[in-house]
Chains A and B, each alone.
Chain A
Amino acid sequence: MEKKTKEEFDVVIVGSGIAGSVLAKTLTNAGKNVLLLEAGLQAGMAFDPEAAYKNYQYYIDTFYKASAKVPNSPYPNIKDAQSIDVLDIEPITQTNSPSTKGYLVQAGPLPFGSDCLRGPGGTTLHWLGSTPRMLPNDFQMQTLYGQGVDWPITYDELMPYYEMAENEIGVSGNVEDQVGPDMSIENYGEGYVFPMKEIPQSYLDQVCIEKTQNLKVKLYGKEYTITCISTPQGRNSIPNPAYKFAGTYWNKKAQKLELAKNNEEYEPVGAIWDQNTGHRCEGNASCVPICPVQAKYNALKTLRKSDPKRLKIITQAVASKIYTDEITNAITGIEYKKYKYENSTVYDTAIARGKIYVLAASAIENAKILLTSGIANSSDQVGRNLMDHLVMLTWGLLPEKAYPYRGPGSTTNIPTFRDGEFRKEHAAWISPIDNWGWSWPVFSPGSDVSSAVSSGMFGKKLRSHLNDVLPRQLLLHFECEQTPDPNNRVTIDPQYKDQLDNYRPVIHYNASEYMKKSFEAAKKVSDQIFAANGVEDYTAYSVANDPDYVTYKGQGYNFWGAGHIVGTHRMGSSKEDSVVDKNQRTWDHENLYLVGCGNMPTLGTSNPTLTMTALSFKAAEAILKQLEN
């Protein structure tokens, strides 16, 4: 039975991840009435301290007990609103095409390698928290390098929103450190500092930096100088006394969002159950999948700062279809299915109504909902240009102990190949130095234990062998920027639906020659870094190790998903070739906005959350202007 909700809101938002939460907070605090629909369980949305604490402890226990501690392992994966799970990734072969093991229908030829979380707080519950900004040149990939498309906005236009995003997330970092290609103190405003001081770089970083800083490497006949810099990140550290901003507010008179000045010292935002917990990163070394003390930012911290009188949240409500007025093309309502309890097949259908509608349900879900509704797609770009960072990993043993498995996942990165003329030939990348040993590619240290034991090792010999090897493990990432390809896309197919009769996303995905060449290039650079550090290379690529396996010039490479799901409803300067304009509003429907990483026309080499959050503030500002005019 279809019910119409009686209330009409100023804005209806779908999804409580960081984009949806930024909007809910900004709009309600500007006096607008907001309805937020969240597909995940009510328990995850608890805001009274006791219930929030209990629910989060349940996540932590689930994580402890998970045999594979993958990003989604602590969180419920409910059949009514399934999450993508990396454990479901398998090779797509002639006899297994498409792969339908998990929520995604993977049509290939390569499986899409990333996951995200459908539930209160979204993927920020398990994000790593790295928050580098994009580079100015990233916004002009077509003009400068003949690749992909240009953005409809420049870096300079986005700058004030970057500052709002860094305030909202609570970024720790050192502006003066942010030096590299197309990257200097100039990228930040004069005198700008992050809210908190940089997260200390790990002992392992310091060991690597010693022989890597200013190392000359050769690549395709050119020489590059490697540098290592501290990574800005969304986890709590020591407040920077020079930081002078409170929160973002709507300046009604000026009709714009502004950061309020603050004369008091910045106060880190603590856990949702206790503001005094999590004021500093405590070194749990489990940022992905869960920060036990919530020193790492998550979107629930933002959501709970909404004006509660103006925010109505409906959980267990899965947006299924958007209705439009046939004459004006305006959105008239969003249909959602509210299921009764976890995994229930029983649900009620209702329609949410507002003046303006915002999809913030993740790049893949946003595209799926639009395709289901047959709207916003006059450009034929909905679902297309799905991107991720293709992460090539290299691993080896350092000659000395550097003690990984401690601290945040990564505290230092190599920015050297984030920008340059080479982007005409192959993808750029950022290289985080990883603090967690070989856990990602080969499931260390458990795999080291089992292989030593199965070889017959035991007792003191086993203990000293493991104590020799584990503290010397080094892992480097090469997060290669995937360029937009219209054939990498989300589609829907009536054959594949979930138990609420909603579509499951069908994914078509491949890695281009431009990407493969970057794997070759990155491996050449990795070899030179390893050689300079006396690292014994243990990197081994195979389809058995990871289903995302490609060959280039006779060499095999694996890549892994970065969890950076981007590009499925791109922003652009014309309605012919993009889905949203620079304010994140759909070209086709004047009261429908899309937010999240799906808007990004290209990916750059930075982790996309910060940029997406900046864009969400931009969207909030545009919505407020539209509501008031």
Chain B
Amino acid sequence: MNNHVVSSNTFLTISTYLTGYSEVELLGTGMLETYFNVFLEKFSPETLHYFFAEVDEILLESAGDEDQINAAIAARLIPDSAYDGIAKNIILVWYTGNWGSDVISTQSYQQGLMWDTAEAHPPGAKQPGYGSWANLPIRIPTK
């Protein structure tokens, strides 16, 4: 069994397709290593190996064609039967900062992408300042 396919780089790449967030946005949370380690801990080495091998194959055969990658993800990673549900869990971890109902860390709570998606901020952190709520949220263009 070849373990070198299980890498945080691949984890980051597939996370971009699973979450709809760019590499820069995901790296900007500072959570990549933490989350990658959560998956190393929660899933068996065999399952992780097969999952990452499948990811490598999807990325290779699609050669950057987004529609093709998305179709392959839907068919081969998203079903609950695929790799103990690793793909769906990757999405949930990035969006919520939780593993199941457990908050991974104080940082993961604050970095949950769902607050950004809601154009808000995690309650109790990253507070936008007095009176900000009376106006439209400020958006920083990402493209």
A residues near B (Cβ < 8 Å) are 60-61, 63-69, 200-203, 206, 237, 280-286, 290, 292-293, 401, 403-408, 411, 435-437, 445-446, 448-450, 453-454, 456, 458-464, 466-467, 470-471
Partner of A459, one of B17, B109, B133, B137: B17
Q: Is B121 positioned at the interface, with any CB of A under 8 Å from its CB?
A: yes
Rounded to whole Å, the gap between the CB of A239 and the closest CB of chain B is 13
User: A405 CA to B124 CA in the complex, in Å?
Assistant: 11
Partner of B19, one of A404, A405, A462, A470: A462
Tell me whether A284 and B118 are in contact (CB under 8 A): no
User: A60 CA to B115 CA in the complex, in Å?
Assistant: 18
Tell me whether A449 and B96 are in contact (CB under 8 A): yes
Rounded to whole Å, the gap between the CB of A411 and the closest CB of chain B is 8
Tell me whether A458 and B134 are in contact (CB under 8 A): no
Contacts of B123 in A (CB 8 A): 69, 284-286, 405, 436
User: A282 CA to B131 CA in the complex, in Å?
Assistant: 8
Q: Is B53 positioned at the interface, with any CB of A under 8 Å from its CB?
A: no
Tell me whether B115 and A445 are in contact (CB under 8 A): yes
Partner of A67, one of B87, B101, B119: B101
Tell me whether B136 and A449 are in contact (CB under 8 A): no
> Which residue on chain B has the smallest CB distance to residue A280?
B130
Given that A64-B103, A65-B103, A458-B73 are known contacts, is A470 also in contact with B117, CB under 8 Å in the complex? yes
Beyond A437-B118, A453-B91, 6 additional contacts (C-beta under 8 Å) are A64-B124, A68-B101, A292-B124, A404-B120, A411-B133, A445-B117
Partner of A201, one of B78, B117, B134: B134
User: A282 CA to B129 CA in the complex, in Å?
Assistant: 4
Interface string of B2-37 (1 = CB under 8 A from A): 000000000000000111110000000000000000
Interface string of B100-124 (1 = CB under 8 A from A): 0111011001100011011111011
- What are 8 A-B pairs at a CB distance below 8 A? A64-B110, A67-B102, A69-B123, A237-B130, A284-B124, A403-B137, A405-B118, A466-B95
Tell me whether A460 and B95 are in contact (CB under 8 A): no
Rounded to whole Å, the gap between the CB of B82 and the closest CB of chain A is 12
- The A contact surface, by secondary structure, is loop
Rounded to whole Å, the gap between the CB of B131 and the closest CB of chain A is 5
Partner of B130, one of A64, A283, A470: A283
Q: Which of A61, A203, A408, A435 gathers the greatest number of chain B CB atoms within 10 Å?
A: A203
User: A404 CA to B137 CA in the complex, in Å?
Assistant: 10
Rounded to whole Å, the gap between the CB of B59 and the closest CB of chain A is 14
Given that A67-B103, A445-B118, A449-B96 are known contacts, is A462 also in contact with B134, CB under 8 Å in the complex? no
Q: Is B132 positioned at the interface, with any CB of A under 8 Å from its CB?
A: yes
User: A266 CA to B16 CA in the complex, in Å?
Assistant: 51
User: A9 CA to B87 CA in the complex, in Å?
Assistant: 65
Rounded to whole Å, the gap between the CB of B141 and the closest CB of chain A is 15
Q: Is B88 positioned at the interface, with any CB of A under 8 Å from its CB?
A: yes
User: A408 CA to B127 CA in the complex, in Å?
Assistant: 11
Tell me whether A449 and B114 are in contact (CB under 8 A): yes
Rounded to whole Å, the gap between the CB of B138 and the closest CB of chain A is 11
Partner of A65, one of B105, B125, B132: B105
Tell me whether B124 and A463 are in contact (CB under 8 A): no
User: A68 CA to B96 CA in the complex, in Å?
Assistant: 13
Contacts of B98 in A (CB 8 A): 67, 446
Rounded to whole Å, the gap between the CB of B68 and the closest CB of chain A is 13
Given that A435-B133, A466-B118, A471-B118 are known contacts, is A282 also in contact with B127, CB under 8 Å in the complex? yes
Tell me whether B74 and A202 are in contact (CB under 8 A): no
Tell me whether B125 and A292 are in contact (CB under 8 A): yes
> Which residue on chain B has the smallest CB distance to residue A407?
B133
> Which residue on chain B has the smallest CB distance to residue A446?
B96
Rounded to whole Å, the gap between the CB of B113 and the closest CB of chain A is 8
> Which residue on chain B has the smallest CB distance to residue A460?
B20
User: A203 CA to B130 CA in the complex, in Å?
Assistant: 13
Contacts of A470 in B (CB 8 A): 114, 117-120
Tell me whether B120 and A406 are in contact (CB under 8 A): yes
Contacts of A466 in B (CB 8 A): 95, 114, 117-118
Partner of B124, one of A290, A401, A467: A290
Tell me whether B70 and A459 are in contact (CB under 8 A): yes
User: A61 CA to B109 CA in the complex, in Å?
Assistant: 10
> Which residue on chain B has the smallest CB distance to residue A292?
B124
Q: Which chain B residues numbered 59 to 112 have a C-beta less than 8 Å away from chain A? A: 70, 73-74, 78, 87-88, 91-92, 95-96, 98, 101-103, 105-106, 109-110
Contacts of A446 in B (CB 8 A): 96, 98, 114
Tell me whether A284 and B125 are in contact (CB under 8 A): yes
> Which residue on chain B has the smallest CB distance to residue A199?
B131
Rounded to whole Å, the gap between the CB of B100 and the closest CB of chain A is 8
Tell me whether A406 and B128 are in contact (CB under 8 A): yes
Rounded to whole Å, the gap between the CB of A451 and the closest CB of chain B is 11
Tell me whether B19 and A406 are in contact (CB under 8 A): no
Tell me whether A406 and B132 are in contact (CB under 8 A): yes
User: A522 CA to B50 CA in the complex, in Å?
Assistant: 55
Given that A282-B127, A282-B130, A283-B133 are known contacts, is A458 also in contact with B118, CB under 8 Å in the complex? no
Partner of A203, one of B74, B96, B124, B134: B134
Contacts of A408 in B (CB 8 A): 133
Partner of A281, one of B101, B120, B130: B130
Q: Which of B21, B119, B120, B131 gathers the greatest number of chain A CB atoms within 10 Å?
A: B120
Partner of B109, one of A64, A68, A461: A64
Rounded to whole Å, the gap between the CB of B79 and the closest CB of chain A is 8
> Which residue on chain B has the smallest CB distance to residue A206?
B134
Partner of A456, one of B78, B127, B131, B133: B78
User: A65 CA to B17 CA in the complex, in Å?
Assistant: 28
Tell me whether B114 and A403 are in contact (CB under 8 A): no
User: A456 CA to B115 CA in the complex, in Å?
Assistant: 21
User: A467 CA to B121 CA in the complex, in Å?
Assistant: 13
Rounded to whole Å, the gap between the CB of A544 and the closest CB of chain B is 17
Given that A282-B129, A283-B129, A467-B117 are known contacts, is A458 also in contact with B78, CB under 8 Å in the complex? yes
Contacts of B73 in A (CB 8 A): 458-459
User: A65 CA to B110 CA in the complex, in Å?
Assistant: 10
Rounded to whole Å, the gap between the CB of B58 and the closest CB of chain A is 13
Q: Which of B70, B124, B136 gathers the greatest number of chain A CB atoms within 10 Å?
A: B124
Contacts of B137 in A (CB 8 A): 403, 406
Rounded to whole Å, the gap between the CB of B111 and the closest CB of chain A is 11
Given that A283-B127, A285-B120, A445-B114 are known contacts, is A406 also in contact with B70, CB under 8 Å in the complex? no
> Which residue on chain B has the smallest CB distance to residue A201?
B134
Given that A446-B114, A456-B74, A459-B70 are known contacts, is A467 also in contact with B119, CB under 8 Å in the complex? yes
Tell me whether A292 and B87 are in contact (CB under 8 A): no
Rounded to whole Å, the gap between the CB of A190 and the closest CB of chain B is 30
Contacts of A453 in B (CB 8 A): 88, 91-92, 95
Given that A407-B134, A458-B78 are known contacts, is A286 also in contact with B124, CB under 8 Å in the complex? yes
